[in-house]
Copies of this chain bind each other. A is one copy, B any other.
Amino acid sequence: MLMQKIVAAEPAKRPLGVETRSAPPAASHTLAGAFELMGAAMRFEQNAEIYGEEEPADYFYKVVHGAVRTYKLLSDGRRQISAFHLPGDLFGLEAGQGHRFTAEAVADSIILVVKRSALIALAARDSDLASELWVQTAGDLQRAQEHMLLLGRKNAQERVASFLLEIAGRISADETVDLPMSRQDMADYLGLTIETVSRTMTQLEGTAVIALPTYRRIILRNRAALRRLDS
């Protein structure tokens, strides 16, 4: 299932000077190095599935360009996005045999893929790498706990404010944020409906906390106000 997709996706033409080899090199001592040396760059177009729930977890992934959402579904289609993965982020770091959620490209994306077995074998011989793998996973857990607080206890305004501050901190140097994801993605990440997200954004625009030149571009006019809402 996954292999089909990998074969189907066309390999990226080394967009960032990425080497694509199959044999593991001498220990690289870092995850970044391991991805550089052992990773295959792959291109996924917007909304393409990278892996699905219940598929064997044979690879680890690193975003080079674009953005990825990982989510879970209920049987009736309700969706909860657990995280967005942006350039530099790793995802798919699962210990079990199979993936427990789905990963899709939010926008056209380039992803580095490494064989799980190869990386784990390398980590068994290189404690620095093993440590880094753990630190990464522990960081994901940290963010998940923060997000549980948002989903369980914050109101709509607080959720949107938290989101804007989080995303700005990750993708923007200044006050301008170009969102890679749709309102529906935002809603499914924040545990709200698209209408509530939209209304809340309009409201924040009305109080001059943000500006919305286009619906994908947000300017943070008043970070202090956002931080106050963030609780």
Contact = CB atoms under 8 A, between A and B. Distances in A.
Nearest to A145: B82
A83 B134 CA distance: 20
A152 interface: yes
A101 B145 contact: yes
A206 interface: no
Given A74-B153, A151-B151, A231-B75, A144 B146 contact: no
Copies of this chain present in the complex amount to 2
- Looking at chain A's contact residues, the main secondary structure is helix
A89 B153 CA distance: 26
B149 A80 contact: yes
A96 B142 CA distance: 9
A101 B141 CA distance: 12
Interface of A: 70, 72, 74-76, 78-80, 82, 93-96, 100-101, 120, 123-125, 127, 130-131, 133-135, 137-142, 144-149, 151-154, 188, 190-191, 231
Given A80-B148, A124-B127, A134-B137, 11 more contacts: A74-B231, A75-B231, A78-B153, A80-B152, A80-B153, A94-B138, A124-B131, A127-B127, A130-B134, A148-B151, A153-B191
